[in-house]
Amino acid sequence: MTSPRLETRDLVRRFDGKAVVDHVSLSILPGNVTCLLGPSGCGKSTTLRMIAGVEQQDAGEIYVDGRLVCDTVTRVPPEKRSVGLMFQDFALFPHLSVADNVAFGLKGPKAARRKRAGELLERVGLSHHFDGYPHQLSGGEQQRVALARAIAPKPKVMLMDEPFSGLDNRLRDGIRDDTLDLLKEEGTGVLLVTHEPEEAMRMADEIALMRDGRIVQLGAPYNIYNSPADKAAVAFFSDVN
Ligand code: ADP
Ligand code: MG
């Protein structure tokens, strides 16, 4: 049986005694995208940060590809979790060339690292900028380089916190689709955080609807859209058409 790329069991995070993440359990299969969808302040980023290992959990377990990376005893450091990260303002290194940005997290001989960088830049349509520098690229192009960089070390899981929010609509659709195609090709499990129902409907294999720290509904996008769990879920989806 294939193990999930990512599994969380009953993750909890409390601030000042209040659970801002309250028993969150998720499971993501290879090549699948789960959207963690909910209003601002419901605990999405905190969940993501615990999985990344940059925020400590108070209870629960996290598994990557079947391996326990965190519980109250075990604590694998972020860089050893096989987890990639993309954020809206996840900047490129300005002093490194585009190729060196992509190769940054890779190990091994320089020639092999540059080869992998070249393949990924070709895949995102930016081969011609191999020796260029970030400031010579548009915002959308920089986002594509950030994607290539995040995926270069072949993480089992990609964690994305509203990475497309800063892009204008015209660019956004193309980058979103290319990003998902690439991650699916690589068999990565994707957890995408968003507060926009439209984005989740478009990108998710499964939506985890979150409110006040809890997953209130979990399912395929159209099941959730057609049968929202309660009035609050109806209201939240009302701006999608
Ligand atoms: P979202 O990403 O869904 O907008 P967050 O996970 O950023 O939500 O935040 C969830 C809640 O936890 C918010 O009420 C936020 O104010 C609170 N919170 C997040 N980080 C901290 C912190 N370091 N200390 C205290 N409260 C925090
Ligand atoms: Mg957030």
pTM for the full predicted model: 0.93
Spacing, Cα 185 to ligand 2 middle (Å): 27
**Sequence-ordered alpha helix ranges (H) in the chain:** 44-52, 98-103, 110-123, 139-151, 169-185, 197-203, 221-226, 231-237
Q: Tens digit of pLDDT per residue, the chain (241 long)?
A: 678 999 999 999 999 999 999 999 999 999 999 999 999 999 999 999 999 999 999 999 999 999 999 998 999 999 999 999 988 776 899 999 999 999 998 999 999 999 999 999 999 999 999 999 999 998 889 989 999 999 999 999 999 999 888 788 888 888 888 889 989 999 999 999 999 999 999 999 999 999 999 999 999 999 998 888 888 888 888 865 4
Spacing, Cα 123 to ligand 2 middle (Å): 29
Provide DSSP, 4-54.
PSEEEEEEEEEETTEEEEEEEEEEE-TT-EEEEE--TTSSHHHHHHHHHTS
Ligand 1 atom closest to Cα of 213?
10
| Ligand 2 ion: residues within 5 Å (CB) | 45
Pocket of ligand 1, candidates 12, 46, 55, 88: which has the most ligand atoms within 8 Å of its Cβ, to mutate? 46
Residue nearest to atom 6 of ligand 1 (CA): 43
Spacing, Cα 157 to ligand 2 middle (Å): 18
Residue nearest to atom 21 of ligand 1 (CA): 15
Ligand nearest to the CA of 46: 1
